[in-house]
Chains A and B, each alone.
Chain A
């Protein structure tokens, strides 16, 4: 099996899912941040893999993006 090479933008596939889901919804980081009650930097860091959110925040984000926790945060080790 070939290793997937991630670009800088795609450093963690699960957080990438969150970014894609947000863009799909037509929300900016600021919009999502306001909806879930955090700062824009927090959303940015979550998407970059620089901050591990609490379960409550994960649930709020998933609700706002109409996704499940699995869709946004599940880490598939095989990345197939």
Chain B
């Protein structure tokens, strides 16, 4: 019977994966805390924490993409309606968050121009995200169905 490198068996791998999952989660939370602290408490310019923000964004995007592709979240039936509902949910949440951030946390006045700007940016980014993630989920689902069929 062949063993994995370092003589790790399935239980060892199980333990390592569980610990990795928890540590990954804690690392993400720590990065978000650091980012928020720098941005809102220290009032540092974007350049000061751009690297952390980039790592966080890339990490979360790839993480969700991989989970969708590998079937970590079961997407039984994807309809136009469900995708649109998801998109609207993202837009509402994203818009509420950015408005809160600029008006409450950063103290900027709420103007019509800002309102429309936020809405446009959030709608565009959410549209791209939902489109890409839906496509990845669809391809991942098809891959699994193909595997089951063979």
Contacts and interface: CB of A to CB of B under 8 A. Distances in A.
B81 interface: no
A12 interface: no
A20 interface: no
Nearest to A36: B1
Contacts of A45: 11
Contact of A51 (B2, B3, B7, B11): B11
A53 B9 CA distance: 11
B3 A42 contact: no
Interface in A40-77: 41-42, 45, 51, 53-54, 57, 60
Interface residues of B, number: 8
A39 B1 contact: no
B111 interface: no
B38 to A, nearest CB: 43
Contacts of A51: 11
A53 B12 CA distance: 11
A62 to B, nearest CB: 14
Interface residues of A, number: 13
Nearest to A42: B11
Interface centre among A37, A51, A54 (most CB of B within 10 A): A37
A57 B7 CA distance: 15
B10 interface: yes
A28 to B, nearest CB: 17
A38 B2 CA distance: 9
A39 B1 CA distance: 12
Contact of B3 (A37, A41, A53): A37
A60 B12 CA distance: 17
Contact of A54 (B1, B2, B7, B10): B10
Contacts of B7: 39
A57 B2 CA distance: 12
A25 interface: no
Contacts of A38: 3, 9-11
B30 to A, nearest CB: 30
A19 B144 CA distance: 38
